[in-house]
Amino acid sequence: MKNFIIAFLIVFLLMFSVSCSKKSSVSENLVIYAYDSFISEWGPGPIVFPLFEEKTGIKTEIVSPGDSGQVLSRLILEAEKPEADIVIGIDNNMAQKAISAGILEKYTSDALSNIDDNLIFDKSGHITPYDYGFFAIIYDSEKISVPPSSLDDLLDRSYSKSIILMDPRTSGPGLGFLLWTVKAYGDDFTEYWKKLSPNILTISEGWDSGYGLFVNGEAPMVLSYTTSPAYHLEYENSEIYKAAVFENGNYMHIEGAAIVKGSKKREEAEKFIDFILSEDFQKELPLTNWMFPVRDIPLPDSYRAALKPEKYLLLDSRTAAENIDSWIKEWLTAVRD
Amino acid sequence: MTVKKSAAVFYSLPFLFILFAFYFPLANLLISGVSPSSLINIFSESYFKSVFIFTLKQAFFSAFFSMIPGLTGAYILVNFNFPFKNIIKSITLVPFVLPSIIVVLGFVLLFGNNGLINSAAMKLFDLEKPPFLILYSFKAIILAHVFYNSPLFIRIVSSAWERISGDIIEAAESLGATKLRVFITAVLPQILPPVIAAFSLIFILCFMSFSIILVLGGGPKFTTLEVEIYRLVRISMDIRAACSLSVLQSFVTLSFLFIYSFYQKKTSMIYSDNFRIPEKKSSSSLLQIILIVLFFLFLFIIIIMPLAMIIFESFRFKSSHAGNAVFSLRWYIKSFSELGFRPVKNSLILASVNTLLTCAVSVAALSFLQRKKTVMKVLIETFFAMSLGVSSIILSLSYMKAVSDFQIEIQPLVLLSMLHSVIFLPLVFKSISVFYDKIDRSIIESAESIGADRRRILFTIELPLVRGGIITGGVLAFALSMGEINSTLMIAPDRFTTIPVAIYRLIGSYNFSQACAMGSILIVTCVISFFLIDKSGRIEL
């Protein structure tokens, strides 16, 4: 027991003394903030960061403060004393929040000329897009023979308690689907949600638990991305899960990276932004980040299951940013009744 | 250094720790953060009142329904001997460590519309629709919270029950009181403080719950305050409003804690060092047999089966979707080849440091409190329990901000251990304080009168008397740290993967079966660890 108290004393003093040392200098490395699934063992991080180091000789330091919302919160918290040089994972819905918070630098890479203009969602020149995808209702083709082909089809009475959605307050796809209905129905979107309610089995807090319910057979339809079936084809050799492509278009999701304001490594940071548009980086995205690369490059074979809708929907990112909070409130009133 | 001085240093340590690791970063965030206007804005939302009331309601019901099996379980563990008792004790605590996503999966595999119970019933009775609609309702929330928290109840209450004063019971029995009467007049007053302690802890934990509530409840009609805090941080990027709401949340949880502490101090007047080592009965009355059977049924269906479903799933492999599932070690082999033993090692290190720190801080603080007046005790206890009411996302943000503002260089791992200790300190503190309150003051006074110094009193009198509390608190600290995910994701250094983090990442990249394998590794690691802590605690101390 004595030893226990003494051990505690030593640990405590050590912690205290370590804690008191002031930071001596800025990091030597290029500091990159990214969301967790990007740096995860199964994400693009372990492949692309070493590749960048090898090609440029620039050492990187990767930090992940959680999901993409938490990455942005941290950057805003650190606005006065920025630690990061690069941020990965600012999407079209959050872009305006980040730009108004004044935490990003402008940079227009030459490589952007290779990219479809529609994908360059930030016209102010701060954020460089690197991949994109489409939200979609994924359905189990063994249980649903005639898939829905529009948002209106989802209201069909036969789909009672058959759809798993995500909460826009806590999940990216959840927010995407809310914006989708706003784009499609305008001010009447709350009416749509009221009619949709009986067909919703549950609204999960995150994509992971929602999709987990779906693959365990709890409901035949779930909100996800059009690329989800490609995963099942690639790793499970199964084409049973399919994406429903809607006649009026699926809502789009674009992710980008930017240089953080206050970065002392402008030159290296620019090299990194150029790198994310290079083929080396782009070709890793389909099977690790499960999104379409922004460059027009050959896709893996399993991507034949990942449909690209001919039409897509997208709200202007400024309009979205200004109204998201009030839309969420209206949505809550509609679904809580 | 004189004895007095070293005692002063020793007793100041817990205060320094909590000030430095909790109040300082939080104050730093709140100073720049809280704005009354944003709170007023939140209050004016029409749905806010119903969110608030629902948060209270579900927390109360969850605590209440955890109490029923909790009390029964404590009674059985204390009064009866049965084979594998220690292993069963260890297993009951496992739900406590599981990340909510694994609990959701376990529940869905068992209780879901396509789960084991429903599909078995459909096959057996040739039904077309699942007969038991258990999930996606209020009762599913309560069920999951009971799964999570009744083990906490069993732990806290049984560890105190084992040591209640035997004098009164013997006296009552010798006077010919019936068993029921003995229970009501002699046992109940003594276990009431730990029962209320466990009840309020579960209440607070459920008060902060959110992911289980959303997904198993069936959506936003069941919304807690924590969801709103999350939205403010994530979607609105309004950290000031999030802080304000978090402060409000803390006030609610702390007022409960405060009332409880005060009550506890006033009522637990029965002190004794003559704790009864209850004689374990082998022959029992009919009522007792029914109780035992019901408890084991509960244990099996609510606690063991969801865990077993996860383990079962982790050994299943289908080569194609249509094919039959076969027994396979594939997910384990894949996990170890991708991650090695790192997640297991990291989790164990983090949990051990957390256990050591929280227990030591609690014991030092409580030993100091021993000599204080009741009001002062309650105030200081609340001071140490404060972090229980603060949302972990806000705490993590406060750490990030402090590190950035003051440019402090701290090893990320040390930072993470500190954060874990702060989050879990209140639980450990409470489990040990239940024991400290039962120490007979006269023993310490007489030791002092014959000239024993503080250190001697601490080591020879106090520690042996609160041993049960230290073991309980230590196991809880270990368990909670093993399962923690939110702050670990936000603060952990690069490539520091714990088991829950690996689970979260696996599911994020579609690998559900492999996540179940990691979940099973977590379950087994924890059962072994709890077993060892329980065992070593009994021998060494």
C-alpha span between B436 and B193 (Å, rounded):
12
Q: If contacts are CB pairs under 8 Å, which of residues 73-112 in chain A contact chain B?
A: 73-74, 76-78, 80-81, 83, 94, 97, 101
State whether residue A333 sits within 8 Å of chain B by CB: yes
Residues of A in contact with B459 (CB under 8 A): 1-2
Q: If contacts are CB pairs under 8 Å, which of residues 305-364 in chain B contact chain A?
A: 318-321, 338-339, 353, 356-357, 359-361, 363-364
State whether residue B229 sits within 8 Å of chain A by CB: no
Give the number of other CB atoms < 10 A from CB of residue B337. 8
Could you read off the pLDDT of B300-342 as tens digits, one per residue?
998 899 999 999 999 988 776 666 788 889 899 988 888 888 9
Could you read off the pLDDT of B183-210 as tens digits, one per residue?
777 788 778 878 888 888 888 889 888 8
Query: Of A40, A238, A335, which has the smallest distance from its Cβ to B321's Cβ?
Result: A238
pLDDT at position B84 is: 80
C-alpha span between B122 and B128 (Å, rounded):
7
| DSSP H helices in B328-391 | 330-339, 342-369, 374-385
C-alpha span between B522 and B499 (Å, rounded):
7
Tell me how close the Cα of A295 comes to any Cα of chain B, in angstroms. Answer: 23
B3-270+290-316+325-540 belongs to which CATH class? mainly alpha
State whether residue B223 sits within 8 Å of chain A by CB: yes
- Report the percent of chain B where pLDDT is more than 70: 91
**Chain A to chain B, count of Cβ pairs less than 8 Å apart?**
247
Question: Half-sphere exposure of B461 toward its Cβ, with a 13 Å CA cutoff?
Answer: 23
* pLDDT, averaged across chain B: 83
In the block, which residue shows the tokens 């979107």? A189
Contact A12 B414 (CB under 8 A): no
The two structure tokens encoding residue A276: 């994310």
Q: If contacts are CB pairs under 8 Å, which of residues 264-293 in chain A contact chain B?
A: 290
Q: Among the listed ranges A60-74, B16-30, B297-311, B368-382, which one has the minimum average pLDDT value?
A: B368-382
End-to-end CA distance of chain B: 27
The two structure tokens encoding residue B383: 């001071």
The chain B residue lying nearest A69, using CA atoms, is: B234
Query: Of B216, B491, B508, which has the smallest distance from its Cβ to A40's Cβ?
Result: B508
Could you read off the pLDDT of A161-199 as tens digits, one per residue?
999 999 998 888 999 999 999 999 999 999 999 999 999
Could you read off the pLDDT of A97-114 as tens digits, one per residue?
899 999 999 999 999 998
The ipTM is 0.85
Q: H/E/C letters for each residue in chain A?
A: CHHHHHHHHHHHHHHHHHHHCECCCCCCCEEEEECHHHHCCCCCHHHHHHHHHHHHCCCEEEECCCCHHHHHHHHHHCCCCCCCCEEEEEECCCHHHHHHCCCEECCCCHHHHHCCHHHCCCCCCCCEEEEEEEEEEEEECCCCCCCCCCCHHHHCHHHCCCEEEECCCCCHHHHHHHHHHHHHHHHHHHHHHHHHHHHEEEEECCHHHHHHHHHCCCCCEEEEECCHHHHHHHHHCCCCEEEECCCCCEEEEEEEEEEECCCCCHHHHHHHHHHHCCHHHHCCHHHHCCCEECCCCCCCHHHHHCCCCCCEECCCHHHHHHHHHHHHHHHHHHHHC
What domains are there in chain A, each with its CATH number?
27-132+253-305 (3.40.190.10), 134-252+307-336 (3.40.190.10)
Contact B211 A205 (CB under 8 A): yes
C-alpha span between B110 and B131 (Å, rounded):
13
State whether residue A35 sits within 8 Å of chain B by CB: no
Q: A159-192 burial, b if ≥16 CB within 10 A, otherwise e?
A: bebbbbbbbbbbbbbbbbbbbbbbbbeeeebbeb
Give whichever of B81-85, B167-171, B182-186, B392-396 has the largest mean pLDDT.
Answer: B392-396
Residues of B in contact with A209 (CB under 8 A): 100-101, 104-105, 211, 215, 507
pLDDT at residue A307 tops 80: yes
Q: Return the higher-pLDDT residue of B36 and B90.
A: B90
Q: If contacts are CB pairs under 8 Å, which of residues 244-283 in chain B contact chain A?
A: none
Q: Return the higher-pLDDT residue of A321 and B5.
A: A321
pLDDT at residue A267 tops 90: yes
pLDDT at residue A284 tops 80: yes
Contact B235 A175 (CB under 8 A): yes
C-alpha span between B364 and B7 (Å, rounded):
10
In one letter, which amino acid is A270? E
* pLDDT, averaged across chain A: 90
C-alpha span between A230 and B226 (Å, rounded):
35
Residues of A in contact with B113 (CB under 8 A): 217-219
pLDDT at position B541 is: 39
Give the mean pLDDT of B428-446.
Answer: 81
